[in-house]
Amino acid sequence: MRTTIALLTSLLAAGPSLAQAPAVPAAPAPTVAPIAPTPPPTPAFAPSNLTPTGVRSMSATCSSCHGTNGVSAGGAIAGLAGLNRDYFIIQMKSFKEGKREATLMHQIAKGYTDAEIAAMADYFAAQKR
């Protein structure tokens, strides 16, 4: 009898530690934002190259080699000022498609859309040599 009481007392003293631990709910798996399948749209503040200012800016990037406004300062690299529009477009497309051999222009031409090339063709055709 004594032994039984002692056992019961010790079981009661153990108290909650003997109680079955409540099941801990599994933490929800962290959600990872899916990687955008398409690149984000062009920001609204990106200016278009197809405005008068845009065409001037695009064409200005050519000036370091072809001269200010396409007027060559002489030397190895041809001027672009007064160049025939259709000739300009054909050359740019040939560079772009690798049909005209080039040291640099095949890389540069790839950076422009057909519309941008046409806009620069108009711009340079209108410049005085």
Residue ranges that bind ligand HEC, judged by CB under 6 A: 61-62, 64-66, 77-78, 80, 88, 91-92, 102-105, 108, 120
Q: In whole angstroms, give the CA distance from residue 33 to residue 75.
A: 55
- The least distance separating ligand HEC from the CB of residue 32, rounded to whole angstroms, comes to 42
Q: In whole angstroms, give the CA distance from residue 125 to residue 80.
A: 8
Residue closer to ligand HEC, measured from CB, 9 or 84: 84
- The least distance separating ligand HEC from the CB of residue 44, rounded to whole angstroms, comes to 25
- The least distance separating ligand HEC from the CB of residue 57, rounded to whole angstroms, comes to 10
Q: In whole angstroms, give the CA distance from residue 25 to residue 31.
A: 17
Residue closer to ligand HEC, measured from CB, 9 or 53: 53
Of 76, 77, 103, 101, the closest CA to residue 91 belongs to 101
Classify residue 36 by its DSSP letter: P
